[in-house]
Structures are given as structure tokens and as C-alpha cells.
Amino acid sequence: MTLSWKTRLIQPQVSAPEGFRSLATPVYRGSTTLLRSAAEVVDHWDQRRTRYSYGFYGTPTSLELAARLAELEGGYHTFLTPGGQAAISLIFLSIARSGGHVLVPDSAYGPTKDLADRVLARLGIEVERYDPMAGGRIGSLFRPNTQLVWCESPGSVTMEIQDVPAIAAAARERGIPLALDNTYASGVFFDAFRHGVDISMQALTKYVGGHSDILLGSVTLRDSRFYEAVGDAHQLLGFAVSPDDCSLALRGMQTLAVRLKQLEASGLAVASWLANRQDVKAVLHPAFPACPGHLEWKRDFSGSASVFSVVFRPGVPRERLVECIDRLKLFKLGYSWGGVTSLVMPFFDLNRQHGKHSGWLVRFHVGLEDPADLLTDLEQAFLR
């Protein structure tokens, strides 16, 4: 068949030679997936049981990332989402049902609690906030309709380390699934499944991505128990991910170990400097005794990361703290953490029912800059 040049622009009759191999996983972009025969047409999300059928269900790039994350965390399977909040939503909407009761720690990520108050409540799901330091005592909060227990350790901003094994034991006794936001530990500093967690999620935006330039999330399952439920919800909620972001996350995984090692060392150096200031009441860093749950961190974690909070003494005026933060040059003012650039963020109106702190909280993320330069920056901003 002789084709018009216009047709050949769309359907060329030539291609590059086969056999090229690279250390990098190729970036497969595509919505339409070509099938070989009409006999193999199957429209289903489970690409482990069917051939590739639609780009939305995954490409070799995204499925490679998912497989590597499941391997890293020691899980059964990983689902990818277009952000950490999407991963959180996927778990709740897969497990909880109307008329159910869910337990969420008071120290959880703010949007997690907003999801509970502004979405789950409208669906007839009651979400109760509990003391993050409850440990095994959480069993007293269980009801006949409790469908999920959520953990986040360390807690958001206030950094409480939860006794996840004790919570897991109590939940297992009642057959209640336990989910964990394991972003801080990157799936490596805390072995979620060995400590009894059923579902582990991460905001890959943070340490796995590592450069503040992607938005991705992951949901990893301990075993096949929730595979169908999470997979169906993942498809029906439309949680497709960008292959370009997946490619950047794959690259980020290769340097994750060396980045975490340096981030830990630099974070400890900066946190120690701040802990010695007279206007600092406490440094909420898991490796420091002042942090709630420090003993649980020593028992359960294999390392610490780059993010921690500082509680300033009640006598420090808010206006003075704002001036100090604004004088920082290397610490940039911005949300999120886990990237190469150091960040700072004040929390002047933190809403906590448990473990309230007297004094302003400021969260720091220590990046990959030279720690000596970061300390010089803190000195010029705070020693006035």
C-alpha cells in the first residue's frame, strides 16, 4: 500500500533498530495502549493478570516504580497516586464505609483531618481523633463499627513517635486494619509491616523524589487482603500518575540512601545548635529525649530524618520570631520537606487537642547545604 505523506506523518513505516539497553528505565508516555488482537481485549486495572490495555492503568515506567517500592518496603503490592494526599484519600475511601468509625491521631497531617471533617463526615463515616501517645490503650476507643485505625509517626509538626506495635496488636485482636503514614521514614527507617501495619503510604513528593519537583504518593499493602478493594477504588477515583514524575522518583530512589545519611547528620547538627539556645524550650526531634516517644523511636527506628520542630519559650514575642525567620537567607520559607533545599515554616495557630505546647512552634527541614553555612545563617538571623 502506498501511503500519503500525510498518513506517514502519523503512521511511519520505519523505526529505530531494536536492542538498545540503558541503565535508566524508559519513560513510557501514552494513554492508548495498542493490543495485538481483538481476542485479547480486556478492560481491567490489574496489569499483573492481564496485558497492558490502557495507559491509565499503568505503563512500564509507573509499574517499575511501584514494584521497586513494594520490594523496598517488603510489601505485597504498591499503588501509585498523583500525590501524598491522594494516597491518604485512597486508603480511607477503600476501607471505610458509611456508618463506620475511624480513629485518626490528633497529630496527623492537617489535610488528613480535613478529609475526615469535610468529606468522610458527609459520607456517613465518623472520624474520632485520639491521643497519639495512646499506644495499647487505644483498644478502649474501639467500637463494633470501627473500620480503620490510622497512625502517623512521627506526627505532623509536633513529631510524636507512636507505639505502633502496641496499636497494631490491639487492632489485630479485633480484626481492625491499621494504616500508617510512613513518609518520614521513607519506608526504610521504620519497617511498617514487621511492626504490624497492614497498609503503608508515603508522599513520594518528599524523600523519594528528593528534589521538590514532583507530586506523587504510594500505597503499599502488606498482603493480598485489600488488593481488590484498593485497586478498584484506585481505578474508579481516577488516580493516574505522570510517567515523567515516576521517572524522576525512580532516579531519586537511586540516591535515597546517601541523601538520607547526609540529611540525618546535618539535621542533627542544626537541631543541636537550636537546642542550646536560651529562647528555645524544646527541640522536637525524634533522636532527642525531649521529643514525645523518643524511647519508641530508639526501639523501632533505624535512623532519623531531616525534619523537626522547635518550641520557643512562651516569652518570645510572635513579632520577633517573624523578624528572625524573615532574616534567614538559606532557609527558604515554604511548605513541604524532603528536598535538597533547607526550609522553615512557623505554626502559630496549630490546632491540637492532645499534647498542646506553650510557645510558638517552628518546623525546620535541613537540606543538603553545608551545615556550617546553615548555622551561620541561623546565627545572623537569631543572635540579635
Report H helices in the chain. 5-10, 60-73, 84-95, 110-115, 164-173, 227-236, 243-254, 256-275, 294-300, 318-327, 371-382
Contact between 32 and 52 under an 8 Å Cβ cutoff? The reply is no
What local confidence, expressed as pLDDT, does residue 102 receive?
98
Beta pairing, strands 146-152 & 101-105 = parallel
Q: What digits encode the pLDDT tens for the residues 64-73?
A: 999 999 999 9
Residue 187: pLDDT above 80?
yes
Residue 355: pLDDT above 70?
no
- Average pLDDT value for residue range 18-42: 87
**What predicted TM-score, i.e. pTM, was given to this entire model?**
0.94
Contact between 342 and 317 under an 8 Å Cβ cutoff? The reply is no
SS3 144: coil
Residue 354: pLDDT above 80?
no
**Top CATH class, 44-254:** alpha beta
The residues facing 361 across adjacent strands are 311, 347
Beta pairing, strands 280-284 & 343-347 = unpaired
Residue 123: pLDDT above 70?
yes
The packing angle between helices 318-327 and 371-382, to 10°, is 140
SS3 146: strand
The packing angle between helices 60-73 and 243-254, to 10°, is 40
- Average pLDDT value for residue range 179-207: 98
Beta pairing, strands 126-130 & 101-105 = parallel
Domain ranges of the chain: 44-254, 256-382
142-174 burial string, b = 16+ CB within 10 Å, else e? Answer: beeebbbbbbbbbbbbbbbbbbbbbbbbbbeee
Residue range 256-382, CATH number: 3.90.1150.10
Residue 22: pLDDT above 80?
yes
Q: What percent of the chain has pLDDT over 70?
A: 99
Question: Residue 53's pLDDT band (boundaries 50, 70, 90)?
Answer: confident
Residue from 66, 309, 380 nearest 208 by CA: 66
Q: What digits encode the pLDDT tens for the residues 73-102?
A: 999 999 999 999 999 999 999 999 999 999
What local confidence, expressed as pLDDT, does residue 5 receive?
85
Q: What cell numbers appear for 214 in the block?
A: 514532583
Query: Which residue type is seen at 228?
Result: E
Average pLDDT over the chain reads: 94
Give dist(CA 301, CA 287) in Å, integer. Answer: 10
